[in-house]
Chain A
């Protein structure tokens, strides 16, 4: 059986084992290594991708369930020379450390801010519990995200 889906806009015909995870196919077959395999069990969020626009952990998604879906990975977010507002805020606030959690963090938080344009600090922290980070202690990431909503307001 062949499964048809798109990855970052490119069509993919997948005819391998339908039980393989999306994460394994991304990293090992397509060499899209932006999504990280950190826990492999759905806890850390480092493998987050967008499936039809919604963040999902790729380490738990069997390929067999992805027929007709559209996947966006961190590599497919924006263009190489264009950061989105979340990425830009993370650069401006200098919050990145080892960086392993950040591709997932960017995808989760970009979606969250699109859904919740004026979050409270508490809402940001709650939304972030699916994305673990061992380096930063989170709060400066929250500061960066909290700076986005007002900035966008000021611009519009």
Chain B
């Protein structure tokens, strides 16, 4: 089949501003999210959580609690002895013998009402002997630090090849070229910078929530998740049952942003459903949701660079410490992404990176929209501006000279394809004009502007799709995708299927995840849904198309090559009206070969790194890089430290935009979350190891007055293996917001804005010369000291 030849036509057909089909119900309050399952007969569950950061469990006595009104079952560590995790199985479902973080589940109670469940949970008798706690990475990495996982060596390894040890859960390193030689040269300027970020909480409006049932000897889990197959796998693993005993379905999800990219409450509810034989609902209260949020992690970063007078980066060494909290979780995987973000953007002649997930006695962290890319880009772009200041080069000029282009090497030695970042920078410059050297606004505030670049990736990987062609001429797409709000399931996927089959997207029914019906999938996140599920859907359509055309060719006495699918009809090329309706062909097919359906699959084989230069990495290179250029103007009030964003402009590499209006929505929403991250979403951890911010009153997400209309340009045509040349567009808008705001603020104030968030008090302190202490005694200036693998 000449897929190639038909691409431009399919593309034209696929691009449209299709409105969302789920909008009406959402606007009328009819959509039932997992939290809206309040039916009679449902049992309600509540946790008893630890209120200490580190301790030995001496006694958990549930006898009195069991006798309380309405209580149907109580589960503890005895009910789920297994360990799970990413890369290493280090995570028990319930705290077992020891408590490793404030908020860790000790027990969960199912009762007739939620109030009864909470009362019984509070009545469980708990005795815990306090143990010393490491609340910061500096404490965890101290020579005499207590081990948070004394048995770390005995854990099952799920992915080989990483250095681990002590309180270092995982270490990923990159060594390419000879940085020692680069730093030893006498014609280089050595620039060193340290950077620090706090955690960011997702605050999805629907918290993590699940309703579990035990039917015919199997678990049925309805849950608010991005990863139905992970939920299936982890639930089975910790319960010690076969995976085929678990079915996961997903109603509309009320926001995810990566928080729901891991199994969370599901196994607890499943255990209670099995114990009671009843449907059990388990929903995090807002306080629990916030206090145990799998946040974007806090991080401490050191970067050193050896740069020539004409701006060549001969050597770069960096250490990134990522706080994974009490268990490794997603951070173990994310150590990989330092290479492609902090190690990205620019051509490096030699590079050494150490990226470490460090255990602390704090709530575990997770994935959040563009993950560590967000703060690695912040650190890298601030460092880049510090380099420019040190060698006296214009920051735009430095970036234009150094951004990776066609044939350039990435940190792990991957060869980039196509010039993308430089033309994007040039476009931004033409569109937005050069920086004009202004220092103050008309009303006397400090003015700053910055332009930054960023690199992120599309997390490809396996997806499956089935397309059933129905007798009425409609098509049903069955995948494990879920609609988390971004619109992929209601916009780009039906657009792709419709374009491939010559239908209108309204005639494409999209079924959301049901692991009993849809094929395996990695989940909705990492910008992969349009790309991976989209590609699998195209492959399924191709099978449908071939079957359909074979039957039609017989009917119309012509060859398949002469036929096209268009507007619900099969037509002979160049002779509109000569063919027949798709329903007629389907009816004929039912008689000849049976109903028409097709299945498709996708995975990206993975681009190799340069042999031997990356260790502890989950992927060697990035299959689909995504680039972004951001530009921000801001004003700082010198009396209060308040920051006002005056303009914010984005040039985003989208491959191809199938639904430009929906991409605009993602940019507006993503940049706004980034503004919150940069300026006022602050999480602090107190002496008990708990967050000081427990809800909306003290964790301040942006309101309508904290944002502004984001100017944007969708940059099309960069290479992508995604269907129709697409790349995911929803994750990346947040990527360089922290970077751009910090760089602009540094220029406005003349101070090193090297810590996020830049709350007004922190900005005041910076301007008063009382900025944070970022000397980082726990990070050595000798790079190899910050590794297990290369330490001598």
Q: Are B24 and A91 in contact (CB under 8 A)?
A: yes
Residues of chain B within 8 A of A74, CB atoms compared? 28-29
Given the interface pairs A99-B254, A137-B672, the reply to whether A31 lies near B704 with Cβ below 8 Å is no
Given A39-B286, A134-B701, CB of A98 within 8 Å of CB of B24 = no
Q: CB of B6 within 8 A of chain A?
A: no
Q: What separation, in Å, do the CA atoms of A155 and B543 have in the docked complex?
A: 50
**With A and B bound together, what is the CA distance between A135 and B707 in angstroms?**
13
- Asked whether B696 lies within 8 Å of A100 as measured between CB atoms, the reply is no
**Chain A residues near B36 (CB-CB < 8 A):** 27, 33
Q: Does B695 contact A (CB under 8 A)?
A: yes
Contact A46 B28 (CB under 8 A): no
Complex Cα distance, B29 from A73, in Å, reads: 9
A138 contacts partner chain B, Cβ-Cβ < 8 Å:
yes
Contact assessment for A100 and B704 in the assembled complex, using a CB-CB cutoff below 8 Å: no
Q: Which of A74-101 contact B (CB under 8 A)?
A: 74-75, 77, 80, 83, 87, 90-92, 94-101
B-binding residues in A (CB < 8 A): 27-28, 31-41, 43-44, 46, 73-75, 77, 80, 83, 87, 90-92, 94-103, 106, 124-126, 128-129, 131-142
Instruction: Determine if B38 is an interface residue (Cβ-Cβ < 8 Å).
Output: yes
Contact B253 A98 (CB under 8 A): yes
Check if B39 sits within 8 Å of A43, measured CB to CB.
Answer: no
Please pick, from B38, B257, B485, B696, the residue contacting A44 in the complex, using a CB distance under 8 A. Answer: B696
Known contacts: A41-B697, A96-B20, A99-B22. The answer to whether A126 contacts B705 by CB under 8 A is yes
Stretch at the interface among B304-312, B462-470, B517-525, B660-668: B660-668
- Shortest distance between the CB of B321 and any CB in chain A (Å): 28
Residues A91 and B23 in contact in the complex (CB < 8 Å), given A134-B673, A139-B709: yes
**In the complex, chain B residues whose CB is within 8 Å of the CB of A27:** 36, 38
- Whether B28 contacts A80 by the Cβ 8 Å rule is yes
Shortest beta-carbon distance from A70 to chain B in Å: 18
Give the nearest-CB partner of A34 in chain B.
B29
Given contacts A36-B254, A39-B697, A90-B23, 17 further A-B pairs with CB under 8 A are A27-B38, A28-B38, A33-B32, A33-B35, A33-B38, A36-B205, A41-B696, A44-B205, A94-B662, A94-B665, A98-B205, A99-B485, A100-B205, A129-B703, A134-B204, A136-B669, A138-B672
Which residue from chain A places its CB closest to the CB of B254 in the assembled complex?
A100
Binding site for A on B (CB under 8 A): 17, 19-20, 22-24, 26-33, 35-36, 38-39, 202-206, 252-255, 257, 285-286, 484-487, 661-662, 664-665, 668-673, 695-697, 701-705, 707-710
Judged by DSSP, the binding face of B is loop
Could you say which of B27, B485, B486, B708 contacts A139, with CB atoms under 8 Å apart? B708
In the complex, the chain A residue whose C-beta lies closest to that of B491 is A94
Q: Is the CB of B704 within 8 A of A125?
A: yes
* Contact call B29/A35, Cβ cutoff below 8 A: yes
Contact residues in A for B670 (Cβ distance below 8 Å) = 137
Give every chain A residue within 8 A of B20 (Cβ-Cβ).
94, 96
Is B668 a contact partner of A140 (Cβ separation < 8 A)? yes
Name the residue of chain B whose CB is nearest to the CB of A29: B38
Q: Are A98 and B696 in contact (CB under 8 A)?
A: no
- Enumerate 19 A-B pairs (CB-CB under 8 Å) in ascending A order: A27-B38, A28-B38, A31-B38, A35-B29, A38-B696, A39-B286, A44-B205, A75-B28, A91-B19, A96-B23, A97-B665, A98-B204, A99-B485, A100-B33, A103-B28, A133-B205, A134-B257, A138-B703, A138-B707
B485 adjacent to A137 (CB under 8 Å):
no
In the bound complex, CA of A97 to CA of B670 (Å): 12
CA A92 to CA B672, docked complex, whole Å: 22
Q: Is the CB of B203 within 8 A of A134?
A: yes
Can you name the residue of chain B whose Cβ is closest to the Cβ of A84?
A: B27
Separation of A113 and B38 alpha carbons in the complex (Å): 33
Task: Flag if B27 contacts A83 (CB, 8 Å).
Answer: yes
Q: Write out the residue numbers on chain A whose beta carbons fall within 8 Å of the beta carbon of B206.
A: 36, 98, 100
Interface centre among B29, B32, B702 (most CB of A within 10 A): B29
Lowest 10 CB-CB distances: which A-B pairs, in order?
Answer: A34-B29, A98-B485, A99-B26, A137-B672, A100-B205, A74-B29, A33-B36, A43-B696, A137-B668, A39-B696
